[in-house]
Amino acid sequence: MLGYRLMRLFKVTTLFALAITLIGTLANAANAAPGVIDGRDARTNVDNLTKQVYWFNRLRDAEDSARQKGKPLLWVHMLGKIDGAT
C-alpha cells in the first residue's frame, strides 16, 4: 500500500516537474522578441560554426591552406571574434 502511494506520489511529482519545464520553455519562446534569435540558440549556432569549420585568423596561413587544397578562401571581416563577443 505504502509502495503504491509512493509510486503515485512519484508520478504526480514527475508530471508536475514536466509541466513546469514545459511552461518555462513556452514562456521563454513567448518572451523572444519578433525576429530575435534567443541567446541559447545563437550560442548553439556559433558552436556549430566553430566546431564544423576551421577558422584561420592569419591570412597567410589561410592562403597557404587554400593553395594546398585548391579552394578559394572565405575571409570574413567582422567586429569582434567569431567565437567571442561581436
Residues near another protein (CB under 8 A): 30-43, 45-46, 48-49, 52-59, 61-63, 65-67, 69-86
Cell numbers 530575435: residue: 36
Of the pair 5, 40, the CB lying nearest another protein is at 40
* Dihedral angle sign, alpha carbons of residues 54, 45, 42, 22: negative
Of the pair 13, 48, the CB lying nearest another protein is at 48
Q: How far is the CB of 47 from another protein (least distance, A)?
A: 9
| Cα(69)–Cα(17) distance, integer angstroms | 52
Q: How far is the CB of 46 from another protein (least distance, A)?
A: 6
C-alpha cell of 70? 585548391
C-alpha cell of 42? 545563437
Q: How far is the CB of 29 from another protein (least distance, A)?
A: 10
